[in-house]
A and B are shown apart, each in its own frame.
Chain A
Amino acid sequence: MVGLETVRLVGDAGEVSTTTAPFAEVASSNAALRAFLHGLPGVDRVGADARAAMLGTRSIKTTAKAKAIDLAISMVDLTTLEGADTPGKVRAMCAKAVHPDPTDPSVPRVAAVCVYPDLVATAVRALDGSGVKVASVATAFPSGRSSLDVKVADTALAVAAGAAEIDMVIDRGAFLSGDYLKVFEEITAIKAACGPAGGAQEGEHSAHLKVILETGELATYDNVRRASWLAMLAGADFIKTSTGKVQPAATLPVTLVMLEAVRDFRLRTGRVVGVKPAGGIRTTKDAIKYLVLVNETAGADWLTPDLFRLGASTLLNDLLMQRQKMATGRYAGPDYFTLD
């Protein structure tokens, strides 16, 4: 377990730091962070909505649609985050993740499964050698309302159990009250807890950190942009829209704003951060709209499971049904796809 004392603010030589050099001073104080985040260009909500809606009218057909469906399947973080989750449920989901359509081996596997920390070990065993990663939510998911010690311990538990990816939540209360430094420090602490010193299995790299902004609680696109930058500055490997427990979850315009953030962050720092919309993405049509959004906002570089994920559960079956329709020309029925 990583103690708080080992995490220092960015800029302290020799300490854990992933913040990129051009912004070394940004997190030197709450005031500096505030000045930076509030100096980012504003987001006009109506304009962002209109842009996302226009991109939603793109017509992706025939060969482009076939490729988009396979790409979307390979980007799915197949998720179960219920109080009623059991090892059996998780094992079944893992089987589906590796072979989404048992009758068709040409269907790609999904990117990852996403579970609670206590079920990570089950998932790791079920997916051993499959190439499908195990992601775990952590940090008192979904509300994030606990002490930093508990959050770090929660993370360490998941990492120790073999999670390759950690989906943490930010402290929205701290963010909304203007305590950006607290949010920043929590992220850096969790980032440290993801590292090899935190107990990742020998020979493995540190767990990738996805930072959930819970955009449905941030309320404004300006806040989404600020939270995106805050998370990236603190070392996030991915920024993720939602827990799935709050409405609205992922939306196209929120994802647009986050894609603009990762695009601009790369321009200014050279570091590439991924994006994961999660929650509410149920249909192939929805998924393809997100791919178009990525393509025309951040650019084609992001069209890989390494940098874009779709957090979803029911989406996968719709993708499979559409895939089968494209292959056979017949509309598919839900009885022909597994419900795991």
Chain B
Amino acid sequence: MSERLAVRKTYKLFIGGAFPRSESGRSYAVTSSKGDFLANAAKASRKDARDAVAAARKAFPGWSSATPYNRGQILYRVAEMLEGRRAQFVAEVVDADGVTAKKAGELVDAAVDRLVWYAGWSDKIGAIRGAANPVAGPYFNLSTVEPTGVVAVVAPPTGPLLGLVSVIAPVIVTGNTCVVVASERAPLPSITLAEVLATSDLPGGVVNILTGSAGEIAPWLAGHMDVNAVDLTGADADVAVRCEELAAENLKRVLRPPLDRIDWLADPGTDRMTAFLETKTVWHPIGV
């Protein structure tokens, strides 16, 4: 008796809550760390990037005005759904990184825990980053944080799940929406993550995931005048400089690539959240 032939998944893009193929019709072969063919991934184009930005912009008003409690619950829901697909992610991480199943299990667990950690920040970051300012006059003066807007994220090439989750969660938990360029070498977990996101009450367009060439897509995003910030964590040095130059055109906030290799298992701190927050200070007179 022959083994049953598996039904393979078609890996597509994730834009506005839907899974379209690349508008360009392009795809590229994704291989495992050992060089075996895994699947064809969509190779996103400039127009896909444009569509993703439009979807992220459309989602911004609703997501940014959702209550922090609500956003926290949705991130927690993402963690729940990720946990439920643990086996699938372990297999994908093993394929992508060539690590042992045990190690892959630890990485998937860490990704789930990271989501839970960030979920709890939704209604606390304002408390540690805001301030009631004691001005020298009869004025009430309050600084609060607000999301920057649409953030383009170049995901790290390594850590196809944990690294990815670690760059997406801090951006969206505070109310930003994002367009993520997934790891070019290991994009498959990102699309599986998209399936998790699509079934986690996360509004369509809050996270948009593009697979393909970061060197090709990231500069389009960095130069896009309706993108408010770029996270260049996963960008190669030359792409990062090019993107930073392009970002200057509309004064995007830029999170530069790290100088050292990031330990994704370490305590991430608040920097990835605060990089994409604006401080708004409101004054009002105090008088009868």
Contact = CB atoms under 8 A, between A and B. Distances in A.
| Any A–B CB pair closer than 8 Å | yes
B285 A220 contact: no
Contacts of B285: 44-47
B43 to A, nearest CB: 60
B207 to A, nearest CB: 44
Contacts of A46: 138-139, 285-287
Contacts of A219: 288
A46 B286 CA distance: 7
Contacts of A45: 285, 287-288
Interface string B122-152: 0000000000000000110000000000000
Interface in B87-143: 138-139
B287 A44 contact: yes
B251 to A, nearest CB: 33
A70 interface: no
Contacts of B286: 46
Contacts of B138: 46, 49
A118 to B, nearest CB: 38
A49 B287 contact: yes
A220 B287 CA distance: 9
Contacts of A220: 288
Interface in A89-145: none
Interface of B, helix, strand, loop or mixed by DSSP = loop
Nearest to B138: A46
Interface string A28-64: 0000000000000000111101000000000000000
Nearest to A222: B288
Nearest to B137: A46
Contacts of B287: 44-46, 49
Interface in A208-234: 219-220
A101 B93 CA distance: 101
B188 to A, nearest CB: 60
Interface string A192-222: 0000000000000000000000000001100
Contacts of A49: 138, 287
A45 B286 CA distance: 8
Interface string B47-89: 0000000000000000000000000000000000000000000
A106 B288 CA distance: 46
A45 B138 CA distance: 10
A257 to B, nearest CB: 13
A44 to B, nearest CB: 6
A306 B11 CA distance: 89
Nearest to A219: B288
Nearest to A220: B288
A270 B191 CA distance: 75
A220 B288 CA distance: 6
B136 to A, nearest CB: 13
A51 to B, nearest CB: 12
A46 B138 CA distance: 7
Contacts of A47: 285
A219 B288 CA distance: 8
B140 to A, nearest CB: 10
Nearest to A46: B285
A47 to B, nearest CB: 6
Nearest to A223: B288
A47 B286 CA distance: 10
Interface in B178-212: none
B284 to A, nearest CB: 9
A227 to B, nearest CB: 15
A324 to B, nearest CB: 39
Nearest to A44: B285
A15 B138 CA distance: 49
A216 to B, nearest CB: 13
Contacts of B139: 46
B288 to A, nearest CB: 5
Which of A46, A47, A219 has the most chain B CB atoms closer than 10 A to its own CB? A46
B135 to A, nearest CB: 12
A46 B287 CA distance: 6
A46 B283 CA distance: 12
Which of A45, A47, A220 has the most chain B CB atoms closer than 10 A to its own CB? A45
A44 B285 CA distance: 8
A23 to B, nearest CB: 27
A221 B51 CA distance: 55
A111 to B, nearest CB: 33
A219 B138 CA distance: 17
Interface string A129-171: 0000000000000000000000000000000000000000000
Interface of A: 44-47, 49, 219-220
15 contacts: A44-B285, A44-B287, A45-B285, A45-B287, A45-B288, A46-B138, A46-B139, A46-B285, A46-B286, A46-B287, A47-B285, A49-B138, A49-B287, A219-B288, A220-B288
Given A44-B285, A49-B138, A220-B288, 12 more contacts: A44-B287, A45-B285, A45-B287, A45-B288, A46-B138, A46-B139, A46-B285, A46-B286, A46-B287, A47-B285, A49-B287, A219-B288
Interface of B: 138-139, 285-288
Q: Nearest 7 A-B pairs (CB), nearest first?
A: A45-B287, A46-B285, A46-B287, A46-B138, A220-B288, A44-B285, A45-B288
